[in-house]
Amino acid sequence: MSTERTVGERDARTSIASVVDRINGIIRAIAQPSLTQLALRLALAVPFWRSGVNKWDGFLQLKDTAVYLFSSEFKLHLPGGPYPFPAPEVAAFASGAAEIVLPILLVFGLATRMSALGLLIMTIVVQLTVPDGWPVHVTWAAMALGLMAWGPGRLSADHVLTMFRPKSQSAPTHL
């Protein structure tokens, strides 16, 4: 009787392990690293792009509301503060420009690690400006850090450009 139970238990464990292996295989097929890196690039680009588009009234023409927000509404919540933004016109312009340029670079996967670093720095400044937004800011920071750590993936301009570099200057193979 105990031998039959042991064989039955072993068969059940083998069956469960087989199902788990199949599910893991499906997950690996869906979550290819390059596809994941592309999804991270797009997901991080969208909120910054949307914010940037709302700051402009034309080519290099900031909306008055963008400058107003940086000069009157936005404050840096640092110890002893909140403090107003220094040079609010410059901060509004730099923020608006970065929120357009960096997402475009991310979408194409060009200068990805540097673009992600720029958006991580912006995320930190946004967190200091809007401290209650931390749940969203943490996700932006995680995406930026992931791209900085693992690069843009094979579905990127950065990867294509590495094919034209001499071997001694090639980027790491984990791109």
Would you write out the chain's pLDDT as a tens digit for each of its 175 residues? 555 567 667 777 788 888 898 999 888 888 788 889 999 999 999 999 999 999 999 888 999 999 999 999 999 999 998 999 999 999 999 999 999 999 999 999 999 999 999 999 999 999 999 999 999 999 999 999 999 999 999 999 999 998 888 776 555 555 5
Under 8 Å between Cβ of 149 and 125: no
Residue with tokens 């340029």: 101
Of 113, 114, 72, 117, nearest in space to 92 by CA: 72
Distance CA 11, CA 82 (A): 65
Distance CA 101, CA 13 (A): 53
Distance CA 152, CA 52 (A): 22
Q: What does R_g of the chain's alpha carbons equal in angstroms?
A: 23
What per-residue confidence (pLDDT) applies to 58? 86
pLDDT in tens, 76-97: 999 998 999 999 999 999 999 9
What per-residue confidence (pLDDT) applies to 74? 94
Q: pTM, whole model, 2 decimals?
A: 0.79
Domain boundaries, the chain: 1-30, 33-169
What per-residue confidence (pLDDT) applies to 151? 93
